[in-house]
Amino acid sequence: MGGDDGSGEDVVTHPARPILRLDEAVVNRIAAGEIIHRPANALKELIENSLDAGATLIHITLKEGGLKWLQIRDNGSGIRPGDLPLLCERFATSKLRDFDDLSAMTTFGFRGEALASISFVSASMSVVTKTKQDPLAYKAFYTSGALAPPKPGQSSEPKPCAGSDGTILTAEDLFYNVPQRRRALKSAAEEYNRALDIAAKYALHYGSRGVGFVCKKSGSNATDLSTPSSSATQTMDTIRLLHGTSVARELVHLEPKRNAPLGFTVAGYISGANWSAKRTTFLCFINHRLVDCSALKRSFETLYSAMLPKGGHPWIYLSLEIDPAKVDVNVHPTKREVHFLNEDEIVETVCTYAQDALAGANSTRTFQFTQSILPGATQPGASSTSAQAGPSGAASMRPPAATSQNPQYQVRVDAKTRTLPSMFSQNPNVRQDATSSDPIRVDGEAGDEGNETTVATTSSARFRVDESPCTLSSVLSLRSAIHKQRHGALTDILQNHTFVGVVDLDRGLSLFQHGTKLYLANHDDFIEEAAYQLCLRQFGSVKRTRLDPPLGLEELVRLGVEIEAPRGEGELEELTGGMGRAELVRKITDHLAERGEMLGEYFSLDVRSSGDGEEVAGATIHAIPCLIPGQSDALPAENLPSLLVRLALNVDWDDEQGCFDGFARELGAAHRLGPLALVAGAQHNGAEEASATAMASAEDRVAHLWFPYFAAKRGGFLPPKQLVKPPVVRGAEQQPPAALVQLASLNELYRIFERC
């Protein structure tokens, strides 16, 4: 182009510029930008790498939505130390050998570009990895596709270190060198949600394939995603856990169906006519790869538009398995799309299957209606449908339950509909919060939409207890043991349970229900363990319950010795090495008073000496620990004397970890509501009436404090495996019973009663 401005000089505004080869670093960074757009893309690649490595547990930790710090830990095959120099090199892979392999890919990865790309756009990337065969783990740092020294001047060779089988990959400061990309990204919260969404989708698909996922923000103990790593997990369990029961109960199962001529199999869950949301949820996996199959999504939306009210959208989860030879996975830099042969026919056939399944489910639309009624008039059918009435009196009209739900799956999901005491008790002291004439409610009828889980879980939200910051390795190691011991399936059961009632307070037995199963639990064992965890979780920041006026320490210890040793002087002497009762009381009082400062600071047991430190005789207790904030009666006050004596006698005060563990164990045991509390309470109140009140209040704590706490989803109880399977006691004639047993399953009972 050029022009003449009349000056007689030729002005060339766009001169031809020479073509030069781009610097390799620039090429790599541009290519990396195509693959990694945002933290969620990086996470998807890393999850897929972990799955390719056969991991069954994947832990994800993100800081600032993954932009500052993105870490993924898996228990997969690990990387051989000799392969570490090539790990982040572009086009270096262990999965593809020649081009033809692309037509039969069974792994997610094939290009050897993902890690390279992450290393090009992050300030630093590190890997700690260990294979089963290697005795040691190796740690290596990378920048721009190659090994890098951890600090300037150091060697960049991978270094042996301690570690468990699997891989931990950490990327820091994503897009630090692409400022325009960083600016274009949404807030850290939005990026976190996108990453969490990817993890949750894989967690759903892989839940039934035995892979568990955990995702949380760095520095927080609360997990935002936690699915069990168990081969017993059913897809429906994971859907319920991640998407809630309100959608789960409206889903229709697409049974796996093979279409031989087109060479594909489809399975999944799709919402029925009674589910409608503002946006479509569409999870589509093709050969286990999460993809956006827009053709399939559009067809499903068309299918549902005829069925749902205007503006209503479905929930769809589909898993298609297509012969790998017919799928081209190499069509999109983020592998978000795949092409497959006979796409139109396959989409159409899948939609037909879905239509058949929906027709077979015999779903009927639920209509919402609002009717103004005159003041004083009763809503027609109010007694039986009261649970469905919305705040404005809107009731949802459903077909009679029996037509849509098999009776063996009709379960009570609201702890208030019928409680155990309401069936038996004439005891005025037992709190009756049941409308006992209420019929047993069908799962599908529970509450409004969005009110996803049972009453137990709704009220449990207030019981969230966060971990206190702590750098003591002894406490951290005790906390990590708690996490390791967690029983995944039991956590899920407790989080979604419906409380039935206390059966036997003396033996600490309660009933609760989960789905169609009825469980008998030793609630005291559960409480003891939960209180132990709460003590360690809040180490150094436990809330206090003030005692006003303060109680005399020696007096309490004397009482404690009486309760703990009702066996007569002879036996007691043996126990205390010949020490008399009075001397024992004195010793324990001194022991605790001397450690007053530490007890107060770490555990909020506020013991103060009256004098200058030497004088402990007048020591008093000003506050006791309150493990669940706001629930000052969680620790039965009548257990305090015993607790003091046991702390002094049973805790190993010389070893830091042993001391913290021992204290937490004793504090846990003091929270039991069984005979310990009742005997003491009854003795000192000295009246039957008082004992009945103590019983009612203990029952109250089980039902309204501990079980709702067990259902708390975040910052709640992590039930250890030994509650289900107690450790074997060698040589013992009778092994300790498990704290939890399944008593009945409604479907099995139904089979029996059906014949009667």
Ligand X SMILES: Nc1ncnc2c1ncn2[C@@H]1O[C@H](COP(=O)(O)OP(=O)(O)OP(=O)(O)O)[C@@H](O)[C@H]1O
User: Which of residues 53 and 531 has its CB atom nearest to Mg ion in the complex?
Assistant: 53
Least separation in angstroms between CB 45 and Mg ion? 5
User: Which of residues 90 and 537 has its CB atom nearest to ligand X in the complex?
Assistant: 90
Least separation in angstroms between CB 42 and Mg ion? 11
The residue assigned the tokens 């309660």 is: 510
Dihedrals φ, ψ of 119, to 5°? -70, -25
User: Which of residues 333 and 715 has its CB atom nearest to ligand X in the complex?
Assistant: 333
Stretch that binds ligand X, among 92-100, 518-526, 705-713, 748-756 (CB under 6 A): 92-100
DSSP string spanning 347-405?
A: HHHHHHHHHHHHHHTT----EEE-----TTPPPTTHHHHGGG--TTS-EEE---HHHHS
Rounded CA separation 569/330 (Å): 83
Least separation in angstroms between CB 182 and Mg ion? 23
Which of 33, 81, 94, 404 binds ligand X (CB under 6 A)? It is 94
Rounded CA separation 220/199 (Å): 18
Q: Are 516 and 730 in contact (CB under 8 A)?
A: no
Q: Is 95 in the site for ligand X (CB under 6 A)?
A: yes
Closest CA to 224 of 195, 251, 247, 249: 195
Residue 452's binding partner, choosing from ligand X, Mg ion, none, with beta-carbon cut-off 5 to 8 A by kind? none
User: Which of residues 215 and 350 has its CB atom nearest to ligand X in the complex?
Assistant: 215
Beta bridge partners of 63: 69
Give kind and range of the element (H or E) at residue 555. Answer: helix 553-564
Least separation in angstroms between CB 265 and ligand X? 25
Which of 58, 60, 62, 114 binds ligand X (CB under 6 A)? It is 114
Max CA pair span of the chain: 124
User: Which of residues 94 and 281 has its CB atom nearest to ligand X in the complex?
Assistant: 94
Stretch that binds ligand X, among 49-57, 430-438, 533-541, 573-581 (CB under 6 A): 49-57
Residues 618, 622, 624, 630, Cα dihedral to 10°: 170
Dihedrals φ, ψ of 89, to 5°? -80, 140
Which of 61, 77, 410, 533 binds ligand X (CB under 6 A)? It is 77
Rounded CA separation 71/565 (Å): 53
User: Which of residues 110 and 176 has its CB atom nearest to Mg ion in the complex?
Assistant: 110
Residues in Cβ contact with 1 at an 8 Å cutoff, skipping those fewer than 6 apart: 13, 14
Which of 64, 113, 224, 638 binds ligand X (CB under 6 A)? It is 113
Residues in Cβ contact with 289 at an 8 Å cutoff, skipping those fewer than 6 apart: 48, 108, 329, 335, 338
Which of 43, 87, 415, 670 binds ligand X (CB under 6 A)? It is 87
Least separation in angstroms between CB 27 and ligand X? 16
Q: How many CB atoms lie within 10 A of CB 578?
A: 9
Rounded CA separation 227/218 (Å): 18
Which of 35, 70, 114, 242 binds Mg ion (CB under 5 A)? It is 114
Stretch that binds Mg ion, among 112-120, 130-138, 414-422, 645-653 (CB under 5 A): 112-120
Question: Would you state the structure tokens that stand for residue 272, as one six-digit string?
Answer: 């029925």
Site for Mg ion in 28-87 (CB under 5 A): 49
> Could you give the string, one character per residue 126-165, with x where binding to ligand X holds by CB under 6 A and - elsewhere?
----------------------------------------
Least separation in angstroms between CB 70 and ligand X? 13
User: Which of residues 110 and 176 has its CB atom nearest to ligand X in the complex?
Assistant: 110
Beta bridge partners of 137: 161
Distances (CA, A) of 177 to 30, 33, 564, 737: 11, 11, 67, 60
User: Which of residues 54 and 309 has its CB atom nearest to ligand X in the complex?
Assistant: 54
In the DSSP assignment, the letter for residue 123 is: E
Q: Is 45 in the site for ligand X (CB under 6 A)?
A: yes
Helix (H, G, I), strand (E, B) or coil at 159: strand
Residue 454's binding partner, choosing from ligand X, Mg ion, none, with beta-carbon cut-off 5 to 8 A by kind? none
User: Which of residues 49 and 419 has its CB atom nearest to ligand X in the complex?
Assistant: 49
Closest CA to 445 of 408, 511, 395: 395
Q: Is 167 in the site for ligand X (CB under 6 A)?
A: yes
Stretch that binds ligand X, among 103-111, 188-196, 281-289, 614-622 (CB under 6 A): 103-111
Residue 517's binding partner, choosing from Mg ion, ligand X, none, with beta-carbon cut-off 5 to 8 A by kind? none
Rounded CA separation 397/401 (Å): 11
Q: Is 28 in the site for ligand X (CB under 6 A)?
A: no
User: Which of residues 30 and 232 has its CB atom nearest to ligand X in the complex?
Assistant: 30
Helix (H, G, I), strand (E, B) or coil at 214: strand
Residue 421's binding partner, choosing from ligand X, Mg ion, none, with beta-carbon cut-off 5 to 8 A by kind? none
Which alpha helices (DSSP H) does 2-149 contain, by range? Answer: 24-35, 39-52, 114-121
Stretch that binds Mg ion, among 26-34, 103-111, 314-322, 349-357 (CB under 5 A): 103-111
Beta bridge partners of 501: 511
Least separation in angstroms between CB 335 and ligand X? 7
> Could you give the string, one character per residue 229-268, with x where binding to Mg ion holds by CB under 5 A and - elsewhere?
----------------------------------------
In the DSSP assignment, the letter for residue 614 is: S
Q: Is 286 in the site for ligand X (CB under 6 A)?
A: no
Which of 28, 49, 75, 454 binds ligand X (CB under 6 A)? It is 49
Q: Are 171 and 122 in contact (CB under 8 A)?
A: yes
Closest CA to 122 of 83, 66, 166: 66
Which of 110, 176, 409, 750 binds ligand X (CB under 6 A)? It is 110
Please give the distance of CA 691 from its chain centroid, rounded to a whole number. Answer: 39
Residue 79's binding partner, choosing from ligand X, Mg ion, none, with beta-carbon cut-off 5 to 8 A by kind? ligand X
Q: Are 455 and 245 in contact (CB under 8 A)?
A: no
Q: Is 41 in the site for ligand X (CB under 6 A)?
A: no
Beta bridge partners of 740: 521
Dihedrals φ, ψ of 531, to 5°? -70, -35
Site for Mg ion in 332-351 (CB under 5 A): none
Stretch that binds ligand X, among 44-52, 153-161, 222-230, 361-369 (CB under 6 A): 44-52
Stretch that binds ligand X, among 42-50, 460-468, 532-540, 570-578 (CB under 6 A): 42-50
Q: Is 93 in the site for ligand X (CB under 6 A)?
A: yes
Tell me which residues touch ligand X (CB under 6 A): 45, 49-50, 53, 74, 76-79, 87, 93-95, 109-116, 167
Query: Which residues contact Mg ion by CB under 5 A?
Result: 49, 109, 114
